[in-house]
Amino acid sequence: MSKFQSQQITKVTFARGDGIGPEIMEATLQILQAADAKLELDEIQIGKQVYEKGVTSGIPDDAWENLRENRIFLKAPITTPQGKGYKSLNVTIRKTLGLFANVRPCYSYAPFVSSRFPKVNMVIIRENEEDTYAGIEHRQTNEVYQCLKLVSRPGCERIIHYAFDYARRHGRKHVTCLSKDNIMKMTDGIFHQVFNEVARQYPDISTDHRIIDIGTALIADDPERFDVIVTLNLYGDIISDVAAQICGSVGLAGSANIGSNFAMFEAIHGSAPDIAGKGCANPSALMNAAVLMLNHIGQAKCGELIQNAWRKTIEDGIHTGDIYRDGLSSKIVGTQEFAQAVIDRLGETPGTLPQVTFQTADHAPFELPEPSVSKSDKKLIGVDVFLDWDEHNRNAETLGPQLEAVTPAKWKLKMITNRGVKVYPDGFPETFCTDHWRCRFLLSTESDSTGYDDTLKLLAAIHESGLDIIKTENLYAFDGERAYSLGQGE
């Protein structure tokens, strides 16, 4: 038995991935083995080689079975093929396994790794399943493409509770919410609203909210001010690369993808095809992800052992090319040599950088909050009809009366917008119009109510007039409150 720990064996699925994946995974496995991590490892094939066999998801059925059995996954980066037929395997795995929280700790290791910010110590907690990453995209007209941004209240509740719970478990004091609710008042709006609601349940944690633009600027310019950040999927993806890079390299940061039954651990960076096969990639991010995994499965002591040896290696100036600096580093090494340097230092601790002592708190399961949604009274009060229309020099002053001439008595054409801007009635001739028109119909008297039959009659009348309907969006009121955004200028 190792002198360092005595935990029971945990089964873990791993995948070597693409590009630099096999190199950094091999290095990471060697470090885990040398540190006597109590793991039984099952390898699965995913990514490029699977895509090339015609499996457009990039993951075969037997790999899913293995993941379902083991529930813990250490994954090297994979290359997402550019073609339209392929889905991102990373997104598929996160969503299929319900990995709703993406946890990305970000530290600076100055003065040993060059960074303008020596005291960065923040954790970015990114919502992992929703937002534009639902992958629901369409081409609707010759000119216009759309991507649906889906944000749910339960999705917001679980990630925001998770962020506050994480802060408490790790002795952190402040949670910052980043969103763009000045523009996306409904999707980002519900995220911010739930943040305010949940924050009241954690009076011991201070909070603030920032619009994502200035939030990102502050991360780039003054990152030491942040403690825990919680944000939506796309923003979290972008800011965690910014944060990792200003700390020295994307090659340093690992991440945990956490769900209620599964967890996946990976580097935040990609497969780096530009340096693949050269043996120079930094394995630290995947190794740090493996350390997060050890904490998660209750092998915190082994995680500490590796993390302290790694810090000592960094302190000793043994650096891969991405963090090597003349005068700062003592030796430039490749992937394998770096891994060996970490292995050689197992049992040692850093002299200047803080020595790591992990809390076992990570191991305790996160209790998902009960969704707080109560049933509201939902009433259909209108419909947005989207048209593909490219006639009469795209003049809405022609389209508007044409629609009004066929609108059934119960309905009123409220406005037409083009890319969200009102162009009828009273549009500006200067507004640039595409071939994609949103025509908003409301009931002609407010006291009227409508059923879907009325909507179908309206659609039939528009269709029979020869106009090309490409989609519709029902307009609802929930408990009497308008549940859709106004057009710009409406």
Contact footprint for ligand NAD (CB under 6 A): 20, 24, 77-80, 90, 250-251, 266, 269-275, 281-282, 285, 322
Residue 17 CB, nearest distance to ligand NAD (Å)? 6
Residue 83 CB, nearest distance to ligand NAD (Å)? 12
Residue 148 CB, nearest distance to ligand NAD (Å)? 21
- Residue 56 or 359: the one with the smaller Cβ distance to ligand NAD is 56
Residue 251 CB, nearest distance to ligand NAD (Å)? 3
Report how far residue 230's alpha carbon sits from residue 194's, in angstroms, rounded to the nearest whole number.
Answer: 12
Residue 287 CB, nearest distance to ligand NAD (Å)? 10
* CB 5, CB 306: distance < 8 Å: no
Sign of the C-alpha dihedral, residues 427, 431, 437, 442? negative
- Residue 251 or 350: the one with the smaller Cβ distance to ligand NAD is 251
Residue 24 CB, nearest distance to ligand NAD (Å)? 6
Report how far residue 162's alpha carbon sits from residue 146's, in angstroms, rounded to the nearest whole number.
Answer: 31
- Number of Cβ within a 10 Å radius of residue 141: 18
Nearest to 281 by CA among 81, 25, 110, 43: 25
Report how far residue 29's alpha carbon sits from residue 44's, in angstroms, rounded to the nearest whole number.
Answer: 15
- Residue 273 or 408: the one with the smaller Cβ distance to ligand NAD is 273
Instruction: Identify the H or E element spanning 482.
Output: strand 481-482
Residue 217 CB, nearest distance to ligand NAD (Å)? 22
SS3 category, 422: strand
SS3 category, 383: strand
Residue 389 CB, nearest distance to ligand NAD (Å)? 37
Residue 269 CB, nearest distance to ligand NAD (Å)? 3
- Position closest to ligand NAD via CB: 270
- Residue 23 or 130: the one with the smaller Cβ distance to ligand NAD is 23
- Residue 94 or 161: the one with the smaller Cβ distance to ligand NAD is 94
- Residue 77 or 223: the one with the smaller Cβ distance to ligand NAD is 77
Report how far residue 337's alpha carbon sits from residue 447's, in angstroms, rounded to the nearest whole number.
Answer: 76
- Residue 273 or 277: the one with the smaller Cβ distance to ligand NAD is 273
Q: Which two tokens stand for residue 13?
A: 């699925």
Q: Which two tokens stand for residue 280?
A: 């120079």
Sign of the C-alpha dihedral, residues 387, 393, 395, 401? negative
Residue 280 CB, nearest distance to ligand NAD (Å)? 7
- Residue 77 or 427: the one with the smaller Cβ distance to ligand NAD is 77
Q: Which two tokens stand for residue 366?
A: 């996160």
* CB 59, CB 15: distance < 8 Å: no
Q: Which two tokens stand for residue 131?
A: 């937002």
Report how far residue 282's alpha carbon sits from residue 24's, in angstroms, rounded to the nearest whole number.
Answer: 7
Residue 303 CB, nearest distance to ligand NAD (Å)? 20
Report how far residue 4's alpha carbon sits from residue 31's, in angstroms, rounded to the nearest whole number.
Answer: 14
SS3 category, 24: helix
- Residue 275 or 302: the one with the smaller Cβ distance to ligand NAD is 275
- Residue 100 or 437: the one with the smaller Cβ distance to ligand NAD is 100
Residue 327 CB, nearest distance to ligand NAD (Å)? 20
- Residue 79 or 307: the one with the smaller Cβ distance to ligand NAD is 79
* CB 415, CB 408: distance < 8 Å: no
Nearest to 201 by CA among 262, 157, 245: 157
Query: Which residue in this structure is represented by tokens 């040993």?
Result: 112
Rounded to 5 degrees, φ, ψ at 56 are: -70, -15
- Residue 51 or 411: the one with the smaller Cβ distance to ligand NAD is 51
**Where are the extended beta strands (E) located within 109-253?**
121-127, 137-139, 145-147, 174-179, 206-211, 228-231
Report how far residue 207's alpha carbon sits from residue 164's, in angstroms, rounded to the nearest whole number.
Answer: 10
Report how far residue 429's alpha carbon sits from residue 127's, in angstroms, rounded to the nearest whole number.
Answer: 41
